[in-house]
Structure 1
Amino acid sequence: MALGPGSLENISARIERLPLTGWQTKARLIVGTATFFDAFDALAIAYALPILIKEFSLSAGQIGLVISIGFFGQLIGALLSGFLAEKIGRLRMTVYTILLFSITSFLVASSWSLGSLLFFRFIQGVGLGGEVPLAASYINEITKAQRRGRFVLLYELIFSFGLMAVAIISYFLIPTLGWRWIFIIGGIPAVLTLFMRRVLPESPRWLAGVGRAKEADETMTFIENQVRARIQGDLPEPEPAPLKQERRLTSFRELFQGMYRKRTFVVWSIWFTSYLAFYGVSTWVPSIFKSVFNLSVEQSLLYGLILIAAGVLSAVVCALTIDTIGRKAWITGSMLLGAICFIILWLIGAKTATQVLVWTSLGYAWVAVVTMSVYLYTPEMYPTRMRALGTSLASAWLRLSSIIGPTYVGFILTKSSVEYVFLGFGVVSLIGAVIFGLAGIESKGKSLEELSP
């Protein structure tokens, strides 16, 4: 078996010998900037809605449609981007998705009716749905096994900060300047694509996996030179060894064959259940405070900010400890505790805004840990030949659940009382905890090639 300079064995060994330096941090921050605005744009509609409800005279059902249409676009984006990234590269497709969601953010800001808003949000969603799973695959592939959990999750924290940023900016901006400025700000990352491709190299693991050995070797040499300049010294010799990964083309069917059948079922289940609760709560809570409890727009936005802050805090704790505690314990335990919080809120009747704020913040904080961790865990479950495809298709379940969650809330608020909203989220979170607890595997401390032959 050839272990030449651009082989997957050689590239993997050269990545595993690299110390973590400022170069990897720079790459994480550049890609993370796009992910920050992906989160910003994805949740911006939740904070615009208290104003949009009045401006466009929206019913509860129409509110659910405005939320869900963006996630439907994200579903399409997630399905398409994975296939394309396996063909043309992780970084190139990431740039394309950033351009799409940035430009259409300006178009959303120009919406003049419910119909135009729905159309532009759908197109924007296509870009939003593609960027995050591709970026997660890219970051995983340039990172070595040791402390990979902490490194990747500190990158994923940027998504949480994007959610918190839109909550903070909305609180100060929307009551004074209106909802359109949130989406104008969301178009900023278009500028990022002007130099992103010049600064960052393509994934060397992907290049090696598709047989572009010379480019893989050149890209890896570029990365090594960047690292050497920062440590001002030599790197240890790589120790390539034959890998179990097979050389063959990406195949959709392989996701459902052999060991990957069970893995695909587990990751799809945890993506669906965690994000149904996550986006169902985060997109609707500001509107629930206003429409159910008759709070002011300012108070509703403030409570929404508290909710997001709770999620950021829990995500920081997870990022710092996941390489010690492990993926399985964090994901299973967080889903279980989130379920308990939502079910408690149902049991006490969700009678006051304070009750809803306290228990949804706690439940959301636990579920937010899982929605961040799946971007680490899922790429670990698949080999290079189908990592972007597997991650993107798994994230499609995020988009499907994000369509169902807000629509479910709108239906319940139309037909019944608010406490049943949280019963549904509690049951779904419990199902996710049971499935992952029984069938999930631990992946900490292992190289990507070791985990996925």
Structure 2
Amino acid sequence: MVTEASETNRDAGSVGDVAARIERLPISKWHIKVRIVLGMATFFDAFDALSLAYVLPVLIPLWTFTPAEIGLLISSGFAGQLVGALFFGWLAERFGRRPAVIACILVFSIMSLACAFAWNYSSLFVMRIVQGVGLGGEVPIAMTLINEICATKGRGRFVVLFELVFPIGLVAAALFGWWIVPTMGWQAMFVIGALPGLVCLVLHRFIPESPRWLANKGRRAQAVAALDAIEREVAGAGQTLPEISPMKVGADRHASFKDMFGPIYLRRTLVVWLLWFGTYLCNYSLTAWMPSIYRSIFHLPLEVSLRYSLITSIFGVIGGLACALTVDVFGRRKLFSFALLWSAVALLSLWWTGATSAETVLIGVTVSYLGITVLSNGLYLYTPELYPTRVRALAVSSATGWLRLASIIGPTAVGYIVAAGELKNVFLVFALVAALAGLVVMLFGTETKSRLLEDVSP
């Protein structure tokens, strides 16, 4: 029986026992099921986060937005995401990963539907802030849960392949925007964004609470029960479970916000915060603005503007796939530094050439986006690896708070730079940020490749 090992082990349900049992689990149909269910929610998280970019070319002339108002509207959702990341991160540490994810999905689904009924700039602004609260919490908590159920071997590829649904969601937003907005109206984008509410019906039934979180909270019986159920399902699919190899890990400790700034973690925290800020200052600032830049500055037709943005989003998926296939080969630090410097060179070339045509901008931004999406996907693997279970969800959510802050500052800054008639300077600013982040991770990053979570983060 798959339960005998834990029933006869006096340490059953301890942090060490749970880690050992997770380490012996092969990647199975059960893992794929969890990835699909959580992936559906993450897909729509991405879709909803970027849907505004593809309705703006319609709303700008309809409601007569100024460039400054456009930047503030784009930033409004990220302001809500900042609040949501911190609040739901705390909630996930206190009450568990699963209920926190469900709450996030319900908030952003309901508010997406509400956005379809916005009647002016102010109403949409407020609704996007509230929707952002749910969007900000879902991905970091889902990624924390995915990391906590994976064995060390193959963790990088498995986790990044899961996170690949996020850039696919961005592509879907671009594709639906190109197809639906001109034919069915801008409201249809927000109606589609409400669909993930249906995921909650299956998530509670099929996704268990994190055994690592349960063990860390001292809920040993529940941790054992969760792992017994997982092992039964894995064994029932015909996969053989090896014997449990005892593991020595640090003693169970209570969570503390100070853990992120202790002797082991201070440098990690500062490096990863800079990576999140730099990556998403470039990422969302460009992707959210590009349809409007093509339309307003280069005066391209609506369909062409949306198609150009779709091309960039497709290459973002390629960047995410490249990360999944190489992150366990080259390691986190080397891959991330190369990708950021690659992006910096592409953006610097746009500034150097003056960004004088839509086609030049399309090529430069797309090449840069290949590198940026390596980080956009990889950071959701890397950040949970850097912290212990007792504070992992809060640490990841706090780190993504810098994503939200960057996404508030970036689009607003782009609005003012564009209004001043200096489009090329946008690319100079982002090139310098990407270069700085690349150098920092190269010099100060912590390598986590092929290391047990409890070993990386005692």
The residue aligned with 1:97 is 104
Distance 1:233 1:189 in 2: 32
Distance 1:261 1:81 in 2: 23
The residue aligned with 2:228 is 221
- 1:37-436 → structure 2 map (5 Å cutoff): 37-230=44-237, 232=238, 234-244=240-250, 246-436=251-441
Residues 15 and 252 of structure 2 are in contact (CA less than 8 Å); yes or no, is this contact kept in structure 1? no
Distance 1:109 1:249 in 2: 44
Please give the per-residue CA displacement for 1:390-414, whole angstroms capped at 9, x wherever unaligned. 1000000000000011011001011
1:247 Cα deviation after fit: 2.2
Distance 2:222 2:135 in 1: 29
SS where residue 152 of structure 2 aligns? coil
Letter of the 1:95 partner, please give it.
I
Of 251-260 and 286-295, more deviation after overlay is shown by: 251-260
Letter of the 2:19 partner, please give it.
S
Residues 323 and 377 of structure 2 are in contact (CA less than 8 Å); yes or no, is this contact kept in structure 1? no
Distance 2:32 2:167 in 1: 18
1:233 Cα deviation after fit: 5.0
Distance 1:63 1:403 in 2: 12
SS where residue 300 of structure 1 aligns? helix
The residue aligned with 1:445 is 450
Letter of the 1:431 partner, please give it.
L
1:241 Cα deviation after fit: 2.0
| Change beyond 3 A, Cα 1:3–1:205 | farther
Please give the per-residue CA displacement for 1:246-280, whole angstroms capped at 9, x wherever unaligned. 42221111211111000000110100001100011
Distance 1:229 1:200 in 2: 17
1:318 Cα deviation after fit: 1.5
Letter of the 1:390 partner, please give it.
A
In structure 2, runs of 5+ residues without a counterpart are 1-8
Letter of the 2:189 partner, please give it.
I
Distance 2:254 2:26 in 1: 31
In structure 1, runs of 5+ residues without a counterpart are none
1:358 Cα deviation after fit: 0.3
Distance 2:416 2:439 in 1: 27
Letter of the 1:362 partner, please give it.
V
Letter of the 1:395 partner, please give it.
T
1:200 Cα deviation after fit: 1.0
Of 414-423 and 103-112, more deviation after overlay is shown by: 414-423
Residues 355 and 361 of structure 2 are in contact (CA less than 8 Å); yes or no, is this contact kept in structure 1? yes
Please give the per-residue CA displacement for 1:259-302, whole angstroms capped at 9, x wherever unaligned. 10000001101000011000111000010001110001101000
Residues 12 and 240 of structure 1 are in contact (CA less than 8 Å); yes or no, is this contact kept in structure 2? no
TM normalised by structure 1 equals 0.98
Distance 1:290 1:398 in 2: 27
Please give the per-residue CA displacement for 1:219-267, whole angstroms capped at 9, x wherever unaligned. 000000110011x2541111122202x4222111121111100000011
Letter of the 1:373 partner, please give it.
G
Letter of the 1:229 partner, please give it.
G
Please give the per-residue CA displacement for 1:295-329, whole angstroms capped at 9, x wherever unaligned. 01101000000010111111112111211111111
Residues 86 and 401 of structure 2 are in contact (CA less than 8 Å); yes or no, is this contact kept in structure 1? yes
Please give the per-residue CA displacement for 1:182-215, whole angstroms capped at 9, x wherever unaligned. 0100000101101211111100000001000000
Letter of the 1:348 partner, please give it.
T
Distance 1:362 1:348 in 2: 15
TM normalised by structure 2 equals 0.97
Letter of the 1:292 partner, please give it.
I
Please give the per-residue CA displacement for 1:340-385, whole angstroms capped at 9, x wherever unaligned. 1001000000000010000000001111110110000000000000
Residues 328 and 450 of structure 2 are in contact (CA less than 8 Å); yes or no, is this contact kept in structure 1? yes
Residues 211 and 224 of structure 2 are in contact (CA less than 8 Å); yes or no, is this contact kept in structure 1? yes
TM superposition outliers: structure 1 runs of 4+ over 3 Å: none
Identity among equivalent positions (%) equals 45
Letter of the 2:207 partner, please give it.
L
SS where residue 395 of structure 1 aligns? helix
Residues 19 and 247 of structure 2 are in contact (CA less than 8 Å); yes or no, is this contact kept in structure 1? no
